[in-house]
Structure 1
Amino acid sequence: MHHLSTSPKPKSNFRLHYKTQTLSSQIQESREDCLFLDVIVPKQVFDGSKSRIRRRQNAGAAVVVWVYGGGYTEGWKRSSGNPSGLIEASQAGGEEGIVFVAMNYRLGAMGWLAGPTLQAAGGVSNAGLYDQRLALEWVQKYIHLFGGDAKRVTVMGESAGGGSVVHQITAYGDQKGVPFQQAIPQSPGYLPTPSYFVQENTTQTFLSLLNVSTIQEARQLSSAAVIKANALQVGASTYGTFTYGPVVDGVFVPALPGTLLNAGQFAKNVSVMVSHMLSEGPAFTPPNVRTDDQLEAMILSLNPETPAPAVNYIVKTLYPAKYDGSQPYNSPIERTTLFVTETSFTCNTYFLNKAYGNQTYAYQFAVPPGFHGFDVPYTFYNGQPTNLTQDMIAPVGKTLQAYLTNFIMTGNPNGKGLPPFPMQGQNASMNSISTTVKRVKDDTSNQRCAWWEKSLFT
């Protein structure tokens, strides 16, 4: 176990003019024309880019491309925080620093409408994934003009952003390669949605909210009408869900990510650093799901086509109602929370670790209370208070940022003055990061996640 201590703040040439916005102003500014990205470059890197361009060289600084979270229905490229602290961390050892890119992508119905009706009308399922891919391809083509190295690109995201990163790793079943070399999915979140029935039902509900019956009619409406209908639909989502997100479409997502990873249909040459929280599920767990019947109903509400034997296996074998100490839960609500945690978040990290032969850098963010999303202020730590006192967050935030930026720059999170960070290895261990850093068994390496990986519920 290693205790964290503070260190002097590194000097930096990085400057950022950052405009803050309230949530209400963000909602008011929601618009369909949103596909923009930010490129934030340390002065030293940008100045050096001029000579590199003259020499027609692409070699430059490491690049991180941030994909924000928000349930695939909210957020924007600056909603996660100010990246200046992360960039300063990359300069702590005297390095020139990293280039930070943050993208927008379409959200809700505009980004994730899917299913047969949409496709028959010439629409494209998973438009949000294509937006992200386009941004990553843009980085490959142009980042050298800003002093970045297209051969040193890490795509990084949290929650829906992390789930998006996983889908980019498995894009097209690895038939087209990927426009990045490294990945950091943090709490990768997505619901396994293989069912065209669910996709079609979502589309028909959206059309009814628009008071139209076809995609062609919907295209004639104003963007304001579409945005309003989307807000109504997302607002009526089942507890803990957001209606929209990545789905199996047979093209960009030929199968569920777990299935593709298990089948070897993913970008195998990508280096991966992956994380999950100590307690991912509480915020997404319906408080009234406590009995077997209620859990069965929840499963079928998420995927009505789940075969009866699979539902029975999930309820009776994977998550049995036993509260005698034989299970990793001690009450009905803890049982439901584990189901939500594993199906939406933590098993997704298991799929990645296993696919890469445990040659990944895995960590758990365990600062109390360890809830989903509580790591984001530490990733983007700039001296602001969070759920810890200032004396406690500073060393934790700086340690996390050092691990992240070391990996972004070198493919290895280890560095001078940091607690050791080995690869996961065949014993499936990970670093647990809190006010101390210790090595622990990865709790996602279990028979439940192994079952979910096989997609036997489809």
Structure 2
Amino acid sequence: MLSRWLVAVSLAIPLAAAWPLALRDLSDSPPTVTLDSATVTGINQGNLSKFLGIPFAQPPVGDLRFRHPVPITSYNGSINASSYGDSCPQQTAIFPLSLGDIVNFTIPNIPSLHNNRSSNNATSGGEKDNDDPEESEDCLTINIIKPSNVSADAKLPVLVWIFGGGFERGNAQGYDEQAERIVNRSVEIGQPVIYAAMNYRVSAWGFLASQEVLEAGVGNAGLVDQRVALQWIQKYIGLFGGDNQKVSLWGQSAGAISATLQMLAYDGNGTDLFRGAFMQSGAQIPVGNITGGQIYYDQVANLTNCTGTNDTLACLRTVPLDDLRKAVDQTPSYFNYTALSLAWSPRADGTFLTQNPQRLVEQGKVMNIPIVNGNVDDEGTVFSLSSLNITTDEQFREYVSTVFVPNATQEELEPLWNYYPSDPADGSPFNTSNFNDITPQYKRIAAFQGDVVFQAQRRYLLQHLSGKQKLWSYLSRRDKLVPVVGSFHGSALELGILDDYIIRFTNNLDPNSNSTGMRDWETRWPEYTAENPQLLTFPVVRGLPLEIMNDTYREEPMRFLMNLSLAHPL
């Protein structure tokens, strides 16, 4: 998680027993639940009961690799649910700078960074996280965390977390502290929830894309993993004390994008899997047909000696995991030069996503449910640290035109150079004058990337849904004073500033408090409409009252970016 490298302090939330059924350890015996004919044994931790690592689909190994998940239809025997399951295989993504480089406002040796977009090695200056859990292809598990003394018939609202990580990394275990914080806080304010989080396949394992994948009908396997987990929740959550009619999605970054794409799945028709979605820093993304990933499919096939076989997809299913992992690691990650032009991501496959997600939004093929969707101010900064070798106007133009919109003409792109000028005062971190200008083009690239992938997409989604369903939006400027990256991607999640709103939304499909429970600094959150696009705004300085502002900043530049990405999806 990016924010764990960039923020040292998170919001501390005191715990109390405000809910009438005050949480306490009732017994030393571990909690159990019966699923079909199986006894599932979890663990008690403090005031919570956890059921961890429950498989919801067959292990996607062997011939099931690169296929849609096969749901588990019934359980027998016993299941030890006392620890998280393995992570799905992860793609290596090394942060291009160290924390010290950012805090000290320094830059590593520029030649050590990528000099051209074809380089596939990880950038220097970062460190791998040695605390990551074990990885395995047998990874499709779900976790349930609930107040420890909730009865099976409590029918509590259910909050389903979808982790982020650029569709290339991530797991549910990494958010255990967040889960505990949310469930404990929900009890404290008298609106208890049950928290669920699934593992889903990432990188090539979940988002392999090519003509071969299209013809086999196995695209977007990672999104289908999420879907099968949501179906599992519908079937079994009642046994844990949850209400399957009161399920809300919550995600950040790729998790928020995933939540949006679940709303667009199968043209937004015929689902009762969830009734609301709370999305932080992510909406639909500017991607096109699944064949757009052919270059990376071919690269992996070549590196694993599958090129030239009669069936390259069948061959890839037989490649040893370590060999496949090495091949995937040779493709760009979100911290490579290509940054947010992702190698592995959801794409239109003709079935789960019948076409470009932006077009689905345009055509109204979206579930009609209440949603919250917001951003931090400087979404693009951390992803722009791997292109610091771009220092001139000419190099910036080449970068945008080759990495993000390779099929656009120079005439089509001409307005972009003025909408996103080289003046550092106009760049991101926004509203920091000439500060944080670590290279002549860094703030410009950061402004462009943050808008084209995050800010413009959120505004486009909300404007098209306005008048059809209840909407709320926000903007966080917290952590603006962090050197170089400002209000960086992930900062609002790490700070926990939206926790109470998320809990209230899960309970009532409204982030506002019905009566009591609002903190002194909170402001009533108005609905978002096209006519009155109001944002709940978190100011730079903590402790100041929240503000309400109109969602009109960089209006013309973002409109241009949306039209450009509609014409030339990745």
- Aligned in 2, Cα 1:347/1:250: closer, same or farther, shift over 3 Å? same
- 1:377 maps to which residue? 494
Q: Secondary structure at the match of 2:174?
A: coil
Residues 344-359 of structure 1 aligned to structure 2 (within 5 Å)? 344-357=453-466, 359=470
5+ residue gaps, structure 2, are 1-10, 24-46, 51-81, 87-127, 434-439, 481-486
TM-score (norm 2): 0.67
Is 1:216 equivalent to 2:314 in the alignment? yes
- Specify which of 376, 393, 406 is matched with residue 504 of structure 2: 406
Aligned length, in residue pairs: 421
Is 1:315 equivalent to 2:416 in the alignment? yes
- Specify which of 205, 214, 231 is matched with residue 329 of structure 2: 231
- Specify which of 146, 155, 159 is matched with residue 41 of structure 1: 146
In structure 1, distance between residues paired with 2:291 and 2:189: 53
CA-based RMSD? 3.0
Which stretch has the larger CA shift, 100-109 or 215-224?
215-224
1:168 CA drift (Å):
0.9
In structure 1, distance between residues paired with 2:210 and 2:289: 9
TM-score (norm 1): 0.83
Contact 2:223 2:258 in 1 (8 A): yes
- 2:357 maps to which residue? 257
Cα distance per residue 1:149-196 (max 9 Å; x no partner) = 111111111111111111111112223435211001110177522155
- Specify which of 281, 284, 289 is matched with residue 380 of structure 2: 281
- 1:61 maps to which residue? 156
In structure 1, distance between residues paired with 2:426 and 2:376: 23
Q: Secondary structure at the match of 2:567?
A: coil
Which stretch has the larger CA shift, 147-156 or 209-218?
209-218
- 1:91 maps to which residue? 187
Cα distance per residue 1:366-416 (max 9 Å; x no partner) = 22132111222233xxxxxxxxxxxxxxxxx4xx21111011110111112
Greater relative contact order: 1 or 2 (C-alpha under 8 angstroms, separation 6 or more)?
Answer: 1
Q: Secondary structure at the match of 1:41?
A: strand
In structure 1, distance between residues paired with 2:209 and 2:559: 28
Q: Secondary structure at the match of 2:505?
A: helix
Q: Secondary structure at the match of 2:305?
A: coil
1:315 CA drift (Å):
2.8
Contact 2:214 2:291 in 1 (8 A): no
1:244 CA drift (Å):
1.0
In structure 2, distance between residues paired with 1:70 and 1:221: 25
- 2:132 maps to which residue? 26
- Specify which of 162, 180, 185 is matched with residue 274 of structure 2: 180
- 1:160 maps to which residue? 254
Instruction: Give the aligned residue type for 1:413.
Output: P
- 2:556 maps to which residue? 447
1:237 CA drift (Å):
4.2
1:123 CA drift (Å):
5.1
Which stretch has the larger CA shift, 361-370 or 325-334?
325-334
Which stretch has the larger CA shift, 188-197 or 246-255?
188-197
Q: Secondary structure at the match of 1:229?
A: helix
Q: Secondary structure at the match of 1:255?
A: coil
1:322 CA drift (Å):
6.4
In structure 2, distance between residues paired with 1:201 and 1:168: 26
Identity of paired residues, percent? 24
In structure 2, distance between residues paired with 1:196 and 1:7: 43
In structure 1, distance between residues paired with 2:349 and 2:320: 27
- 1:384 maps to which residue? none
- Aligned in 2, Cα 1:326/1:335: closer, same or farther, shift over 3 Å? closer
For the pair shown, the structure with the greater C-alpha radius of gyration is 2
Cα distance per residue 1:39-75 (max 9 Å; x no partner) = 1121343x1x2xx3xxxxxx81111100001111111
